[in-house]
Amino acid sequence: MNSLRNFGRGISLNNNYESWKINKYFLVQSLSTPGFNEEAINHAKDLFEVLDGYWNSLKKSQSCNENWFEMDFVQWINRFMTDNISIIITGERGCSMSSYYHTFNSDKSILESSLFDDPKVYNSDKFTQAIKAYLRGVSFFYFVHPFLRRYVPYFKNKANSVLESRDYMLKTIDNIIERRTFDFVNTPQKLKSKHDLLTNLITANHDAKSKMTEFLPDQEIRTVIFDMFLAGTDTSSNTLCYIIYYICRNPHVKQKMVEEIDLVFPNSSDTLCITTNHLTRLKYCEAIIKEASRLMPVLPVAKRVASAECEVAGYTWPAKTIFQLNYASIHMNEKYWTNPTVFDPDRFYLQNDLGELNDDLNNFDQENKKSIHEKDKHSLVIFGGGIRSCPGKKLAMINMLSFIALTFKKYDVELMDVDAPLKTHTDFIIHCLELKIKIKPRK
């Protein structure tokens, strides 16, 4: 893992507790600044309008059956999340969606004269593919012996491909940080209205330096941003694929969810006004996210290292013992879940009893009115647990709830083949490879 050169830095792969603690402190402070959440919602709403425009444009050129527009949802949601996370993290909007949209245009002359004809369009999509390649490569570096990666041609070529993806991502991030640092030094007034993560990190770091307190080295800022791109794109986009899949396979769940969305957003206008207050009222939508994540955890397995001697399963384990945590099996354990193979958001849903956005973890089992976390507080693990839990879980919930509300307020969504199994690939995370759906405007 040291070959990836991110081990021991940033957040996700940092095994240096003191370094990790400082990095997480600055990250949490930056994510908690006033206006950050509302701006994240506005970005999601603005990008959905762009996405909706692409869908409507393609629909006009497609011979649609009864006003339905057919698509592979995976391709669109991956790019939507990349563009969304890009502007939330860096303040610079990506063009991954527009790049994909242009692949449907066979007229090269139209493409070249398009308003989107910008080198960034293609670089942004390349960045998207680099993220996916790197995430798939992490498990390769974890399981394949260094000797094979260095000297056996097949494995060496694969390793080099992963490292090239990493280097491209880091170079792109370095360029963005360099531009933002230049603006901070030379035109600080320009950044006062910005609430993106990078600006917040640079500002907080500058304040820490001026107060002679602990601060982040430039290398750590780079790796924290790198981690946020990895954690904020594929995880949320794959989770949304599984959410759409389970919703569409359970019409009664979809109906109940749509009724809640219509109750929270009674206005039938094409443009929704969304705030954090609206999102906290989407209790059933939140229950759906949790139930889909229980059945299809994007991160099925994680590892933890014992910081001291401990007792587990009746055995005493020395410090530095590595434990593999099988979240997928825990989520299907009949000791904690009634009918664990059944998609049932009601197991989480009681009025005023869900509040992930408010860090309220008092989730209840509707059958016996007893808190799931009273039975075992680790029976549901979506964003990790303990001090190493995901610091961006609130942002992830905001992005997913916003997308669900925007999509199902405007569209009726169905699977192309309701009986088709999910197509997935598992490495470091569980990737959804394809999800064929069709949409049409709601009446």
Q: List, as residue ranges, the binding site for heme.
A: 390
Binding-site sequence positions: 390
Question: How far is it, in rounded angstroms, from Cα 289 to Cα 382?
Answer: 10
* Distance separating alpha carbons of residues 196 and 297, to the nearest angstrom: 28
The answer to whether 52 and 44 are in contact (CB under 8 A) is no
Rounded Cα gap, residues 289 and 435, in angstroms: 17
The closest alpha carbon to 269, from 407, 409, 412, 402, belongs to 409
Q: Specify the amino acid at residue 156.
A: K
Q: What's the CA angle centered on 93, arms 224 and 185, to 5 degrees?
A: 60
- Collect contacts of 371-378 with beta carbons under 8 A, ≥24 apart: 372/336, 372/348, 375/336, 376/336, 378/330
Q: Are 343 and 246 in contact (CB under 8 A)?
A: yes
